[in-house]
Homo-oligomer: A and B are copies of this chain.
């Protein structure tokens, strides 16, 4: 970091408040809320104390600029072709603070770098649990869509299809299970708040998020190459062309061509549109990355105890100081 402004910092402390400068990346939905709440995103040392900063400001505060990226929507909203991405989307933004004033009553942290480890720990404990349930639930969605595609393609009884659906169910169950266990195995903070177990939640999320992307391609595989070769909605609704598409898209007996068409387009919207990047990135990069999960697991696992137990098995003299403190 060559430029001291690259991260958000306090540049002046006054009697009535502080002046902050810098930017926050990845501030999803920031322009749509009432208050912008800033807080540290990593553990800090004494030399970082100007950056150990947490506060809230109304989004229309002078000096605060949002550089916005539109939601990952379709070229134009269509009912069949973009059933999800026409309706749901997240505004991403880069939030720039150019000497913004924050009154003291809205400042929660200003220089107390020594509390950043706890803050990050508490925050991470919740984020991992929340993200774990999110990815597990989205895996349930992939499972349902894939099973319906298999049914419409007349291959739901094929053993490889059942096996792939089972893999998806495993991921969803495992992701949910680890989140539930993290909640169950929480520690209680002196304030009375429950802090979810960080070891189990990270282990579960790591596994689930990587599998989620694999399941995206499985959903595409079972739906078929048609996902990226299917004629568009305008052709489908054209009086002459539409019936041709209908005729040739017919799947198994008992399923209307339009139902199959809609489902193919749903899979297209999920795996071959701009929304796909959101789904993938939201699984991989949101709430920490897979690497974050690994670091947290390594850091929170009691390796020392396990090494001492190994000595017992090997009949090696234990460390006399272990367990004393």
Contact = CB atoms under 8 A, between A and B. Distances in A.
A104 interface: no
Contacts of A200: 173-174, 176-177, 180
B301 A25 contact: no
A283 B180 CA distance: 25
A241 interface: yes
A215 to B, nearest CB: 10
A144 B303 contact: yes
A23 B262 contact: no
Of A172, A177, A200, most buried by chain B (CB within 10 Å of CB) is A177
- Chain A residues touching B, majority SS: helix
A195 interface: no
Interface string A79-98: 11001100000001110100
A271 B277 CA distance: 6
Contacts of A263: 310, 314, 316
A311 interface: yes
A241 B65 CA distance: 9
Interface stretch (A44-52, A55-63, A118-126, A156-164): A156-164
B273 A220 contact: no
Interface stretch (A9-17, A106-114, A288-296): A288-296
A204 B177 CA distance: 8
Nearest to A305: B144
24 contacts: A3-B250, A25-B226, A67-B241, A69-B228, A69-B232, A141-B310, A143-B306, A144-B309, A145-B313, A147-B303, A169-B298, A169-B301, A172-B301, A173-B178, A173-B204, A176-B181, A176-B200, A177-B178, A210-B217, A213-B214, A220-B277, A220-B281, A225-B286, A266-B313
Pick the 4 closest A-B CB pairs, nearest first: A272-B277, A144-B306, A159-B159, A177-B200
